[in-house]
Amino acid sequence: MARVRRLHLFDLDGTLIRGSAAAVEISRQLGLSAEIAELEADFFSRGMAPHEFAVRARELWADLTVAQVSAAFEGAPWLAGIREVWADIRSQGDYCAVISLSPDFFVTRLLDWGAHAAHGSRWPVVPFTEPVDRAGILSPAAKVKVANRLCAEFGVRLDDCVAYGDSMSDAEIFAVVPRAVAVNADHHLSGLATHTYSGGDLREAYQLVCPVR
């Protein structure tokens, strides 16, 4: 009997990047850490919609360059072992994908690390000459829609997926998959995760659902 293939779905902010987010790392490169902290407070505590966050972040990042995006990506506090985990997933004939609300110009860089797919909110090309298209900004519910599209693309079911996340934006996808790993997570995922991990190495979180062979 053929082995069932699995799709591993990874959040980015707070999950693959420990204690930080793409927006925070980008803003740090621009000297706008205080401004993005205020904007994130509006998002997390005052109910700001993801598309409104993106519009305001685009205003903050008006002078963003490709070099600054590269510096933000390279300097982010990534969990250890990401490439190794994705290489192991590939070696088993399984799939790995990133689904994030963060800008696609940041998220898609993870394709070079071994992800089969990397989906972020659709943003204009850096350096910006266009406004943010609100319709292209992902929401937590949209993460499930993207997951369903990936399942169709790779020929797997949601029942064959494992999700990794850390916060409220991952709750909806945690609710529809049978295995979910809360990685350095907050209280919003309490009761939804089948496994919990706290630490700095994705290999350890991965081994909770895929023990070393």
Confirm if 105 and 69 have CB atoms less than 8 A apart. yes
Whole-number pLDDT of residue 207? 97
d(CA 104, CA 92): 27
- Structure pTM? 0.96
Whole-number pLDDT of residue 2? 61
Tokens representing 23 are: 């927006």
Query: Does residue 45 carry a pLDDT above 90?
Result: no
Domains and CATH numbers, the chain: 7-18+78-207 (3.40.50.1000)
pLDDT per position as a tens digit, 18-27? 999 999 999 9
Residue 4 banded pLDDT, cuts 50, 70, 90: confident
> What residues contact 130, with CB distance under 8 A and at least 6 apart?
124
- For the CA atoms of 26, 183, 122, 140, the dihedral, rounded to the nearest 10 degrees, stands at -130
Q: Stretch 145-173: mean pLDDT, rounded?
A: 96
Bond prior to 124 in cis (omega within 30° of 0): no
Residue 146 banded pLDDT, cuts 50, 70, 90: very high
Confirm if 11 and 166 have CB atoms less than 8 A apart. yes
Whole-number pLDDT of residue 48? 87
State how far Cα 186 lies from the chain centre: 15
Question: What end-to-end distance do the CA atoms of the chain give, in Å?
Answer: 20
Residue 212 banded pLDDT, cuts 50, 70, 90: low
Query: Does residue 199 carry a pLDDT above 80?
Result: yes
Whole-number pLDDT of residue 189? 87
Confirm if 123 and 105 have CB atoms less than 8 A apart. yes
Q: Stretch 116-134: mean pLDDT, rounded?
A: 97
Q: Stretch 176-187: mean pLDDT, rounded?
A: 94
Share of the chain above pLDDT 90, in %: 89
- Tell me what the pLDDT averaged over the chain comes to: 95
d(CA 24, CA 126): 17
